[in-house]
């Protein structure tokens, strides 16, 4: 199945991000690489869930934001898939060998942090024991697939961030949290893929 990529990303991209990406010159930026994992699994309520995390507050552009488990490449990682699996185990406690990686999704450049992020789609057959990494994860969000796919949870929100004030952004409202930016853009691609099944 072909990836919707940028077409899906733009649906959840703030206007400022669309403008920024269209004007960006990657020459000399030397972005860092990161891998993240969108993991679906059966919850204790026998419904399919997706795991997201609320990052802890820190001095950085993604402080206290919702994201996928994942992070930057480290020397021991064989590739970005390995990075995403390792970071998912570290951040939410799902053993790497329990995640079946189904698909590599479209990578996404994130200007504020200068990262190329490679997302992957994975599934876990049994309900995992989720354990937050104390140093990085404030809260684990177990999002029901039905909530994620519900159009009523696609909203528009006015937000202020470390790099923009009072911007209107397309977003998801999931488990009481506003999910937007790069995570929202990646979720948009996943949603489009799931709608085709």
- Contact assessment for residue 68 and residue 147, using Cβ atoms and an 8 Å cutoff: no
**DSSP β-ladder status, 115-123 and 108-110:** antiparallel
Closest CA to 184 of 90, 119, 104, 100: 119
**DSSP β-ladder status, 32-42 and 115-123:** parallel
Q: What is the CATH number of domain 6-19+32-195?
A: 3.90.79.10
Share in percent of the chain as helix, strand, coil (round to 5) = 25, 35, 40
For residues 63 and 150, which has the higher predicted lDDT (pLDDT)? 150
Residue 161 has pLDDT above 90, yes or no: no
Listed range (56-60, 156-160, 182-186) with the worst mean pLDDT: 56-60
pTM of the shown model: 0.93
Residue 63 has pLDDT above 60, yes or no: no
Cα–Cα distance for residue pair 95/115, rounded to 1 Å: 25
**What tens digit of pLDDT does each residue of 105-145 get?**
999 999 888 999 999 999 999 999 999 999 999 999 999 99
Can you list the alpha helix ranges (DSSP code H) found in 116-180? 145-149
% of residues, the chain, pLDDT over 70: 95
Average pLDDT over residues 80-95: 98
pLDDT at site 152: 97
Cα–Cα distance for residue pair 99/30, rounded to 1 Å: 31
Average pLDDT over residues 74-82: 97
Sequence ranges of the domains in the chain: 6-19+32-195
Residue 60 has pLDDT above 60, yes or no: no
Closest CA to 121 of 174, 190, 48: 190
- Contact assessment for residue 122 and residue 87, using Cβ atoms and an 8 Å cutoff: no
35 falls in which pLDDT band (50, 70, 90)?
very high
* DSSP-derived 3-state class of residue 23: helix
**DSSP β-ladder status, 177-179 and 167-174:** antiparallel
CB atoms within 10 A of CB 49: 24
Average pLDDT over residues 66-83: 97
Residue 17 has pLDDT above 60, yes or no: yes
pLDDT at site 62: 45
Residue 93 has pLDDT above 70, yes or no: yes
């Amino acid at each position: 199945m072909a990836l919707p990529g940028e077409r899906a990303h733009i649906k959840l991209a703030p206007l400022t991000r669309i403008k920024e990406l269209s004007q960006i010159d990657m020459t000399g930026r030397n972005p860092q690489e990161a891998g993240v994992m969108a993991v679906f699994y059966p919850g204790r309520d026998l419904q399919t869930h997706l795991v997201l995390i609320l990052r802890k507050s820190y001095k950085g552009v993604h402080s206290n934001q919702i994201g996928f488990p994942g992070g930057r490449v480290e020397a021991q990682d064989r590739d970005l898939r390995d990075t995403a699996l390792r970071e998912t185990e570290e951040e939410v406690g799902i053993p790497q060998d329990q995640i079946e990686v189904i698909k590599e999704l479209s990578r996404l450049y994130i200007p504020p942090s200068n990262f190329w992020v490679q997302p992957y789609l994975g599934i876990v057959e049994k309900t995992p024991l989720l354990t937050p990494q104390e140093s990085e994860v404030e809260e684990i969000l177990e999002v029901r697939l039905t909530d994620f796919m519900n159009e009523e949870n696609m909203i528009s929100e006015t937000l202020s961030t470390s790099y923009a004030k009072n911007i209107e952004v397309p977003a998801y409202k999931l488990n009481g949290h506003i999910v937007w930016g790069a995570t929202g853009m990646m979720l948009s691609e996943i949603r489009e893929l799931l709608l085709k099944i």
